[in-house]
Amino acid sequence: MVQFLNKSSNPGSGKTVSERMRRKSEARRLDILHAAARVFRRSGVAAAGMREIAEEADLSPGNLYYYFSGKDELLFFCQDRTLDRMLEAAETARASTIPVGDQLRAVIRAHLHYTLDELEGATAHLEIDMLAENLRRGIIDKRDKYELAVRALITKGVKRGEFAPCDAALVARAILGALNWTVRWYRPDGAQSVSAIAEGLANYLVRGIAAHPQETTVPVRAQSGGRK
C-alpha cells in the first residue's frame, strides 16, 4: 500500500544512497503516477501519449523513462493502485456488522469515489486490455476478486433474507456496469455531486434486490443540500 515502487525498476539501478534522496525520488514517482492517472482519465489510455504524460508531470519525455520503464508500467501501477483501494473498501464493508444492504451501499460509494473524485478518481483500471499481456494477469485477478467480493455480498444478503433470491453473479455485473459506466457521463461541473450520484444509484441498485423495498422511496432528486 505505502510502497509499491520496489515491485519493479527503480530509478537508476545502483544501490540507493541517502534516505533523504530516496524519499524525494519516491515522491517524484508518485507525482508522475498521479499525472499519468489524470491523463489516462482525460484522454483515455489509448490516446494518452507519453509526451502528454510527461508534460502533465512537468518533465521531458525522455526523463519519464528514468522513473518508469515505459507506458505499460505506468498503466500497471495506476490500475493496481485503484483496484487495491476498491478491494480494501469491499473488505471493510464485508467485515462490518451493519445490514448487508448498507454494506453494499458503502461499496458503491467507495467505488464511485475512487473513479469519479476529482483528486483521487482514476479510470485506467477500466481499460484492462490496453495493458501488455505479461502484466495483465495480476490486474485481471484483482478485478475478478473485486467482482467476486460484490457477488459474495449479494449472496450473503440473500442468505440472511435481506435480499430476494436472485442470480448473484448477474446482479453483481449489472451493478458494476451501472457504476463503471458513470465515467462516460459524469461531468465534474454537472448538476449532481459524486456523493449525490452515489446515493441515488445505491438506492436504485439495492432496491432491485431488496426483499422488502420501501413502497415509495427511491432516488428522489436531491432531498437536501445540492452540490458537494
Partner DNA sequence: CATAAAATTGAACGATGGTTCAGTTTCTGA
Partner DNA sequence: TCAGAAACTGAACCATCGTTCAATTTTATG
Give Cβ neighbours of residue 123 (< 8 Å, ≥ 6 apart). 40, 41, 115, 183
Query: Does 178 help bind a copy of itself (rule: CB under 8 A)?
Result: yes
Query: Does 184 help bind DNA (rule: CB under 7 A)?
Result: no
**Least distance to DNA, CB of residue 154, Å:** 38
Query: Any bridge partners for residue 163, and if so which?
Result: 210
Q: From the list 13, 212, 225, 228, which residue makes contact with a copy of itself (rule: CB under 8 A)?
A: 212
Q: From the list 75, 104, 153, 176, which residue makes contact with a copy of itself (rule: CB under 8 A)?
A: 176
> Which partner, DNA, a copy of itself, none, binds residue 208 by CB below 5 to 8 Å per kind?
a copy of itself
> What gap in Å lies between CA 202 and CA 104, rounded to an integer?
8
Helix, strand, coil: what percent of the chain each, to 5?
Answer: 65, 0, 35
> What gap in Å lies between CA 134 and CA 58, rounded to an integer?
29
> Which partner, a copy of itself, DNA, none, binds residue 207 by CB below 5 to 8 Å per kind?
a copy of itself
Residue 104, all three cell numbers: 453494499
Q: In the range 32-71, which residues lie near DNA by CB under 7 A?
A: 47-51, 59-67, 69-71
Which one-letter DSSP state was computed for residue 41? H
Q: In the range 129-148, which residues lie near a copy of itself by CB under 8 A?
A: 129
Residue 188, all three cell numbers: 465534474
Query: Does 127 help bind DNA (rule: CB under 7 A)?
Result: no
Cα pseudo-dihedral 49, 132, 37, 90, rounded to 10: 160
Binding mask 22-61 toward a copy of itself (x if CB under 8 A, else -) reads ----------------------x-xx--------------
> Which partner, DNA, a copy of itself, none, binds residue 200 by CB below 5 to 8 Å per kind?
a copy of itself
> What gap in Å lies between CA 137 and CA 139, rounded to an integer?
6
**Least distance to a copy of itself, CB of residue 22, Å:** 38
Compute the Cα dihedral for 103, 109, 113, 115 and give only its sign: positive
Site residues (CB under 7 A) for DNA?
A: 11-12, 14-18, 20-21, 24-25, 28, 47-51, 59-67, 69-72
